[in-house]
Structure 1
Amino acid sequence: MPIRPEHRFFYPIDWRQLSTTIRFDRAGGACEGCGRPHGRTIYCLRDGRWWDAAAGTWRDGQGRTLSTLPTIEDLGGIRSTRVVLATAHRDHDTADNVAANLAAFCQRCHINHDRPEHRRRRWRTLFRRRAMGDLFQGRP
């Protein structure tokens, strides 16, 4: 996942090599959250279940084999997606680059992992905008 130019200075100079080591050497080219393989196109349902063609089975959002198959109604919402692994910081601190703090996640697992942090940042941004409006424009 590319890093925005304005955020590049938050990451170490050797981030590309560090990320490659985590994604391919440690994780073996598969998501550490759900097991989706990097670079492959998979078929998935809206709730996170996906078809593992290598094993010939359906898996849930955590990579476990399903005991019951999806119904015909579920298969109506099937879509294909190409899996791309990215290295995520478990504690959202880009300065903490020890291996235990880094994880190889697919797009779905990465966004699910970051959801609380995104919600917190969105609240802070909206709060700051409202405060700036009150400060300079006054309360109506």
Structure 2
Amino acid sequence: MPIRRQHRWLYPIDWRELSASIRFRRAKGRCEGCGRPHGCTVTHLGDGQWWDDERQSWRCGKGKMVRRRAKPAEHGPPGRTTRVVLATAHLDHDPFNNAPGNLAALCQRCHILHDKAEHLRRRRLTYLARRALGDLFTEPYSV
């Protein structure tokens, strides 16, 4: 996931190398949250369960085996497919803390779940800012 322009100054100059080290050397190209492999297209059910082609079994959102489902069909249900891309996440949400213990290689799903509270906070601020601009330039919103 690319870093937004207004947040680039928060990251060190060698962030690309540091991120690659965490994602591919330490995590060996797999999500540290659920075990999905980087760059592969996986079949998933939308609730976190996904098909692991390497082990020929379903896995839950935490990466543990789920034995109750059959192998997915080639071009039919169950599930949808997603291409997995790993990103490096700050576990304490502080971009200045780049200690290896504070960084984790996460897939899109695990990263968005990890950052859920921050995304909700930013969304609330965006709504409040839009409402304030509406009050300033038009008239107050009616309840």
TM-score (norm 2): 0.85
Q: Does 1:118 align with 2:138?
A: no
Amino-acid identity (%): 57
**Matched letter for residue 89 of structure 1:** H
RMSD over equivalenced CA pairs, Å: 2.1
Structure 1 stretch displaced more, 3-12 or 13-22: 3-12
Q: 1:81: how far off? A: 1.4
Structure 1 residue 25 corresponds to structure 2 residue 25: yes
Structure 2 counterparts to residues 46-65 of structure 1, below 5 A: 46-65=46-65
Number of equivalenced pairs: 138
What secondary structure is seen at the aligned counterpart in 2 of 1:128? helix
Taking the aligned partners of 2:83 and 2:45, their CA distance within structure 1 comes to: 14
Indicate the residue corresponding to 2:100 in structure 1.
99
Q: C-alpha distance in 1, partners of 2:139/2:45?
A: 48
- Compare the two structures and name the one with the higher helix fraction: 1
Matches within 5 A, 1:6-25: 6-25=6-25
Q: How much does 1:77 deviate?
A: 4.8
* 1:66 match: 66
Secondary structure at 1:13 match in 2:
coil
Task: Name the counterpart of 1:3.
Answer: 3
CA–CA distance in 2 between the matches of 1:110 and 1:66? 22
**What is residue 89 of structure 1 aligned with on the other side?**
90
Cα gap change, 1:107 to 1:9, in 2 (>3 Å)? same
Structure 1 gap ranges (5+):
none
CA drift of 1:139 comes to 3.9
Partners of 2:9 and 2:78 in 1: CA distance: 41
Secondary structure of the 2:62 match is coil
Which residue identity is paired with 2:37? P
SS in 2 for 1:84: coil
For 2:87 and 2:56, locate their aligned partners in 1 and report how far apart those are by CA, in whole Å.
Answer: 25
- Is contact 1:50-1:58 (8 Å) kept? yes
Q: Is the 2:57–2:71 Cα contact (8 Å) retained in structure 1?
A: no
Alignment partner of 1:6: what SS? helix
CA distance 1:110–1:81, change in 2 (3 Å)? same
Q: TM-score, normalised by structure 1?
A: 0.86
Shift of the alpha carbon at 1:64? 0.3
Native 8 Å contact 1:46 1:77 kept in 2 = no
